[in-house]
Structure 1
Amino acid sequence: MTETIRVEGLHDYPQGEIFLLTEADGGYDALVYNTTGRGPCPDEAFAAIDVDKLRVEYGCDLVWKNPRRFWLMDALTIDIVGEPATLGGVDFNLLAKMHMPAGFDPTRDQSSLAYQPQQIHRTNVWEFNAGRQVHLLRSPDDVTWVMQTYTNAKSPDLTVDGLATLGDRLDLPEGWTYRTVTLDRDFAITTDGVANIVPDDLANMYQGLIDGVGSFDPWS
């Protein structure tokens, strides 16, 4: 089963993600479930999901719960690759079947890989409307990375309004720069198979404008 859905009204929209992990090839194969398309992720209900209970229920080696995040695009188009599921009382869509990237450690959050680019398999379109602020990293190799989600898991006072000055709070490595830009026209990131992603040291996640995935480079 593969179905493509488009979801609008996503800016600052809470989403939750659960990974059902099976050991394979020195790492983990994953079924990736996300609440997107099933309604905004409820904070308390998501926090209460018992990953050990899910591991037993689904017969996998490990269940990993990504900290609750907030989308920053205005709309997205994404593939659903299997049947939806209710996990711990919360409704999810199955969005990916993938092998976890090198360096993934289920005992640590994604800030442990801060500023270390990774690749994941994904097919999607992120749409940002003209007039929307986008929050960008620039790496030393002159690649622009566009924030796709932020999280307050490591910094509880972080809100969408604080992203414009987030650069003052990040521990940026030498050669990395943070910038917020207001779009003068509609902007899209279209990924057909492989997405280049990178987290910052507060576990916010960005997608790189590599191999022509961006309709233009908003850093310029």
Structure 2
Amino acid sequence: MTERTDVFDRRYGEVLLVTATEDGPQAQVYCSFPLNDCPAELWDKLDAEAIAKEHGAIAALLNGPRHWLMSSIEKDAQGQPDTREFGGIEMMHQATVTLSSMNPAPYSVNQVDRKTVFNFDAGRPVFELIDPQEQRWVMQTYSQAVDVSLGLTSLPDLAARLTLPDGWRYETRILTERLSVDTTTRDAHVTQDNFANSYSWEF
């Protein structure tokens, strides 16, 4: 396991290369982290259609820019890293996602094979969705794809802006002990809100 520390609020972007499988659409996720901070002048010029054609995918999805909200990431490296360049941005393969659809709706769940541990340290705020079964989903990244002005200071008051399904709620709390989401031996369950912020089920 390798660990990246002090990743809180680090900027990154992702390119998802989508293929068709018997189980539905599947995406290979390439991420600019930890190679670079996804320079805006390059990210803004990415052409999803051209990327898909170049890499033999049925579609390419641009996911970002985003910012991490955990304190550290532990990664179970699987062999030699697979790196590619998209519009001048070097990215590394980090996960495989089984998509619920080609255009997943907010609050739908995707399964992600990422073999990581996300650690949220005590004393830091976390932003959580609680579903009707009282399961907690912790925000792992916030996105500026929908609202470019969204930032850390916006998150405590986000509840008033969310379009939550019936029975869901949004809460903010300060951790009194470390919260770890360990998906090294099982798929992560990930959902997004209507601002494209991503949340992991805490199990």
TM-score (normalizing by structure 2):
0.89
| Residues 1:95 and 2:94 aligned together | yes
**Count of residue pairs the alignment pairs up:** 200
Amino acid at match of 1:204: N
CA distance in 2: counterparts of 1:204 and 1:135, whole angstroms: 10
Which residue, 173, 183, 198 being the options, matches 1:205? Answer: 198
SS across alignment from 2:52: helix
| Residues 1:162 and 2:154 aligned together | yes
**Closer, same or farther: CA 41–24 of 1 in aligned 2, 3 Å:** same
Percent of pairs identical after alignment?
Answer: 30
Which residue, 176, 193, 197 being the options, matches 1:184? Answer: 176
Q: Does structure 1 retain, via aligned residues, the 8 Å contact 2:96–2:112?
A: no
Deviations 1:96-145 (A, max 9, x none): 244x322232xxxx5xx222233222211111121100001111101011
SS across alignment from 2:187: strand
Amino acid at match of 2:172: T
CA distance in 2: counterparts of 1:156 and 1:83, whole angstroms: 30
Q: Residue 25 of structure 2 aligns with which residue?
A: 28
- Superposed, 1:1-220 pairs within 5 Å as 4-25=1-22, 27-81=24-78, 82-98=81-97, 100-105=98-103, 113-191=105-183, 192-210=185-203
TM-score (normalizing by structure 1):
0.83
Q: Does structure 1 retain, via aligned residues, the 8 Å contact 2:26–2:99?
A: no
SS across alignment from 2:115: strand
Q: Aligned-pair distance for 1:199? A: 1.1
SS across alignment from 1:104: coil
CA RMSD after TM alignment: 1.8
SS across alignment from 1:70: strand
Q: Does structure 2 retain, via aligned residues, the 8 Å contact 1:79–1:95?
A: no
Q: Residue 213 of structure 1 aligns with which residue?
A: none
Unaligned runs of 5+ in 2: none
Residues 117-126 or 177-186, more deviating: 117-126
Q: Aligned-pair distance for 1:179? A: 0.8
Residues 59-68 or 156-165, more deviating: 59-68
CA distance in 2: counterparts of 1:117 and 1:31, whole angstroms: 17
